[in-house]
Amino acid sequence: MLADSHCHLDRIDLEPFDNSFEKAIGEANKKGVTHFLCVAINTENQQAVIDIAESHPNIYASVGVHPLYTKGETASVDSLSQVAAHPKVVAIGETGLDYFYDEESKEKQLSLFRTHVQAAVEVGLPLIIHTRDAREDTMKVLKEEGADKVGGVLHCFTESLEMALEAIKMGFYVSFSGIVTFNNASELREVAKRIPADRILVETDSPYLTPKPYRGKPNSPMYVSEVAKCLAELRGVEYRDFCEQTTQNYLNLFKIKAGD
């Protein structure tokens, strides 16, 4: 049993699966992947991820605006709260800050980030956080807006152990993607060893960040097993036990019943 805690199922390449979404999910199931969180990147694709979540009992959705897709976005606490009322929506995001690619939009990113945290607190849902080269501002906003009331996950984590532990104290989880398998990710692997077992998640961020040994191919949820294998070996635990732990963490965070 494995949970892909962050994937963009509306964007994955279906060509390797005979252009069949059902076959893509089926291949993931064969690898033991039983749960999926399909994450929106802006208001334009929110309905698409909800539609996908409605198509399968074990697929859920998260709605929000990615910090690199803020141009033209006018998301408000009310608009986010309304769409988050859907029964298959279990989180707000992804949201956050990315100064690596787009520092020029810093003020717009900060404004929308605060809006997302406020909406999450209002509706009582956890947050999906994207953060890159913005550690200080990310933690500042989370603290000032009361994100500890709902918690969430720092997804596709590539930051410091100090940031991870600070977020964990606020009720957050830390999720690792295929990046942890890359040759140049030795520092990140050291961080991954230190995350408490009950606060770690795995993800693909499909269709991006394909893990070794499949780099160069489009990513899909079936490859979350490679991330889990890497982390289990790093942490010196049995693969089966690691899968069970991270899946339980996923269910706990998003308040999903095991049978769902």
Each residue's pLDDT tens digit, 120-160? 999 999 999 999 999 999 999 999 999 999 999 999 999 99
Q: What is the pLDDT of residue 101?
A: 82
Range of the domain at 169: 2-254
Distance from the Cα of residue 15 to its chain's centroid: 24
H-helix or E-strand spanning residue 217: none
pLDDT (mean) for 187-199 = 98
Domain count, the chain: 1
Q: What is the pLDDT of residue 260?
A: 59
Q: Is the pTM of this model over 0.85?
A: yes
Residue 100 within any structural domain of the chain? yes
Residue 227 within any structural domain of the chain? yes
Residue 259 within any structural domain of the chain? no
Q: What is the pLDDT of residue 259?
A: 63
> Which residue from 80, 15, 6 is spatially nearest to 39, judged by alpha carbons?
6
Residue 242 within any structural domain of the chain? yes
Q: What is the CATH number of the domain that holds 168?
A: 3.20.20.140
| pLDDT grade for 250, boundaries at 50, 70 and 90 | very high
Residue 191 within any structural domain of the chain? yes
Eight-class DSSP state of 20 = -
pLDDT (mean) for 188-208 = 98
Give the integer Cα–Cα distance in Å for 103 and 101. 6
Contact call for residues 129 and 153 (beta carbons, < 8 A): yes
Residue 260 within any structural domain of the chain? no
Residue 141 within any structural domain of the chain? yes
Give the integer Cα–Cα distance in Å for 104 and 155. 23
